[in-house]
Each structure stands twice: as C-alpha cells, then as structure tokens.
Structure 1
C-alpha cells in the first residue's frame, strides 16, 4: 500500500468524521439509563417532569450541565402551560458529559412513559459549533418544516437534516419517534431540534433571545400545527392497521406521498406550507 493511497484514505476518513462530528459534540456516555443509574450517584443528575394534560411533550434529554441551554429552552416552552415537559439534567460540578445517553438509547422510564402517551413529541438537544445554528430533524417532516419556517421568519439560521446526518433524529429507536400513532394509524414520529453551542450560550445569557426563540417554536406548535393536523385528517382513514401492522397499511403510502408532495412545493413561510398541504389534501 503506497503512501499516497494511505494519505487519501486518511483524508477521506477525516472529512467523513468531521461531517459526522461537526453537528454533535462527541461523547461516549452510557448505553442505557439502567447502566447510568448503576454507576452514578443519584445526586449527580435530576429528572424533572411537568404533565399538564397536553397531547404534546417537549423533552431535554441532555439537560442541565450535559448540554447547557437545552433544559432552559424546554422550561421556557413549558411556562406557556400548554405542553408536557421533561428534562434529564446533569448536576455535577464538572464532567456532566459523562451522563450522556444517545437519543437512540435514551430509555429513562419517566421519559418513555410520557412519550408513549403523547400524540406529538419534540426533543431539544445540543449541537457543536460556535456559530448560531439550529438543525431540525425527526420523522415528523411536516412539523419539522413548520418549526424551521417559524424560526427562519424570526431571523434564525436553520438547517434541515437528512437521513445521512448523525443528528437527523429519524431512527425508530430515537425516543422522540416513539409517540402515539396519528389517528391510531400513521407513524408520524417526532421532531428533534439540535441547537449549536454558540446559540445555546446566547439563549442562556439573554432572556429576550430565549423568549423570542421559544416563542417561534410555540407558534409552530400551538398555532400552525393544529391547523395542519385538521388538514391531514382528510387523508388519514380509520382502519384496523395498528402497531407493527401499520407498516403494511396500503393507505400509508398515499399519506406519505401527499406529505412529500406538499414539502416539495417549497414554502417560504408557515402560511404557504399550510396552503400547500391544503392543496394536496384536496386533490
């Protein structure tokens, strides 16, 4: 194996890892909550929940000192009184990153129970980088796009993540996607909002910025999304395809096709997206 080939392989590996790690601060952490609880003193972390009977739950699974600013945003959204909230918070004096559990492995019992009982779910996690950037992903592509549009309307830099991105949040095993089926039939999943370190620092240090940012997400969830779900009900049909059998539901492809068609039209603001969805549901 010649030196030039080795250099090429090394460069490709570096670039690949750089893309993968660029959005997410890498840490090993634990593979499950049971593993964490067995190794850590209970005083090193805290589980905080607020259940207000909402059909929407917002979670910070890396809160407190693990990914500073994530639980603060969830708490800000919770102050509206409209959403159930959950925060797993690191309380150590230092090295809170050791309490990290990947979203695809996060199985703290209270979080799992709350998500399983919710129609719609949103997780707020941290991303690397000093720039002020928000990355939006998750299986619920319509709600993710609404969140993106509401934030961009307020002037925030928001990027939509694809399947190949490390923090795309599209895997079935990600806790945010384990919510209830839409109308008991369709797996919409949830939305994962990853916020860069630079933007999280700003949100924590400036209450005005925090309120402005959380207000944009609140508008997506409380104003635009209810209108969207009413339109989507026209496509969804009640039938006997539940749980795993939903994957074989012949209506699922039609549902997904209309969602994708609405997104492909390209909306510049939330109102346009709602109009696009209305148009495809009436076809």
Structure 2
C-alpha cells in the first residue's frame, strides 16, 4: 500500500512541476520490435524509411496515432530535402498506444541501420501536457542547445531536460544516441525533441505554425550546425597529463563543449561565436 501511495505522489509531483512526461513513458510497452511484430497485425502499423544518403537522420518512432503530430513534424523536415527520415506509425482506429516501444528499446532493424549510418540524429517524440512546450534532451548537448535557441528565437517555450527526467534521452541505449562516432572516436549522440500534446495539436491544426516550427529546426541543422561542427572536429584530442594514463582514450571534447555552454549564449549566433572562440 505504501509503495502504491509513493507512486501516486511521485506522479502528482511530476504533473505539478510541469515535467513533460511522454504520454506512454510510465508504461513499459514492447521491449523489442520482434516482440511487437509477433503480437501485432502488420496492417496496424507502418514503417517508412527515406534514406537520401544525408549525414543527418530525423526519427519519429511513435508516429501516426501513437503520438499524434510527431510524424507530421518529421515529414515537414523531410520536405527540406536535407535529411534522412524514419517513421514508425500506428494505424489502428483506436488504441495505438498498444504499439508503443520506449526509445531505449526501439530496435526495429531499418531504424537501427539508418541511425548507425548517420553522423547526426534527431528524434521527435511526444510529451504530455495541454500547454505548448518543447522539451530538449539527448547526449548531443551543443546541438540540443542550438535547436533550443532557434526555437526560442521564434517565440516557442523550450526547456532542457537531463537526469532524472524520464524523457531526457541521454541513455546510450536510446536509439537517437546510436549514430556514428563523431570524427571516428567520440560518441556524440543525438538530440531528442519531446513536443507536448498541446503543441503537437497546434502543429497538426495549423500548417503555418508547423512550417515555422520545422523551419527553426531546419535552420539549426542546416545553417549553424555545420559551422559548429567545423570547430568541434578540432577538439577531438585525448586529455593530457596524469588522468590520461588512467583513461588514455577519454577525450577533452566534453570539457570543451561544457565550457562553450557555460558562456550562456542567448541566440544561435552567439552560440556559434562562442564555439568559434574556443
């Protein structure tokens, strides 16, 4: 009884403070695609892969009726012609939530292959809440910050997530973080964008808002990110000194990124400039 009360209180606290829990984050869902495929009718879901041979892949692993609006955003980004895209969409008339697979368990082969062949990855998932909020997470902290600043510049409410948030997207097992090693040696990981239900409903209902929102993400990925990458590649060097003997492969890369982020850039251009100054 006490354990049940603790769970209820924890959930109330999360809602009170507005943490953007995914609609299905408190359920386990399927633990693998093989499990899902064995239990579900193939006509109840659809997998769409668009491999254009680009270095960036956009994922919507809870698309269609699972988390409404995530497919639409991925498709809008696909329209720019600069990214590979992957969609796993629920097609059931009702109860598409039964098709849910957590990002840390998502191992559908086509998605895995596409991500592993990509330099950079962005995963779009849903979050709960009627407010219009975007939650940014993932291991690629500097790209996450860049996307955040671009969205904020357009007037969107964006919050950064980290441990212990359930949708922070920072675990190695999350499919978004399984892209190619940066510069062949660093696990840079990807960016997870969790969009609240309220905002997803708006994106689906108003094409101009969807264009504006996706345009901000596109500008981050295609305009400013290449400039930052040029500088980041110079940071891929092992640490020197005593601690390098304990872990000779540990890069100074993360320290450099943290130094950049601590400068507190307020605009995308400031973040680019802060990076170029390092």
| Residues 17-26 or 123-132, more deviating | 17-26
Aligned counterpart, 1:38: 38
Contact 1:24-1:127 at 8 Å conserved across structures = yes
Contact 2:20-2:135 at 8 Å conserved across structures = no
Could you list the runs of 5+ residues in structure 2 that have no partner in the other structure? 239-245
The C-alpha deviation readout for 1:41-68, integer Å capped at 9, x for no partner, is: 0000000011111000000000000000
Offset, 1:236: 1.6
User: CA–CA distance in 2 between the matches of 1:142 and 1:58?
Assistant: 17
Contact 1:136-1:192 at 8 Å conserved across structures = yes
Question: Where do 4+ consecutive residues of structure 1 move more than 2 Å?
Answer: 5-23, 26-29, 247-251
Q: Secondary structure, in 3 states, of the residue corresponding to 2:54?
A: coil
Aligned counterpart, 1:227: 227
Q: CA RMSD in A?
A: 2.2
Aligned counterpart, 1:242: none
Aligned counterpart, 1:270: 268
Q: Secondary structure, in 3 states, of the residue corresponding to 1:234?
A: helix
User: TM-score scaled by structure 2?
Assistant: 0.91
Contact 2:47-2:88 at 8 Å conserved across structures = yes
Does 2:265 match 1:279?
Answer: no
User: CA–CA distance in 2 between the matches of 1:76 and 1:13?
Assistant: 36
The C-alpha deviation readout for 1:132-178, integer Å capped at 9, x for no partner, is: 00000000000000000000000000000012111000000000000
User: How do residues 110-189 of structure 1 correspond to structure 2 at under 5 angstroms?
Assistant: 110-189=110-189
Offset, 1:250: 4.1
User: CA–CA distance in 1 between the matches of 2:128 and 2:200?
Assistant: 10
The C-alpha deviation readout for 1:64-88, integer Å capped at 9, x for no partner, is: 0000000110011001111000000
Q: Secondary structure, in 3 states, of the residue corresponding to 1:233?
A: helix
Q: Secondary structure, in 3 states, of the residue corresponding to 2:80?
A: coil
User: CA–CA distance in 2 between the matches of 1:89 and 1:20?
Assistant: 27
Contact 2:135-2:158 at 8 Å conserved across structures = yes
Offset, 1:23: 2.2
Aligned counterpart, 1:69: 69
Q: Secondary structure, in 3 states, of the residue corresponding to 1:125?
A: strand
Aligned counterpart, 2:52: 52
Q: Secondary structure, in 3 states, of the residue corresponding to 1:256?
A: helix
Q: Aligned pairs, how many? A: 267
Aligned counterpart, 1:243: none
User: CA–CA distance in 2 between the matches of 1:186 and 1:259?
Assistant: 13
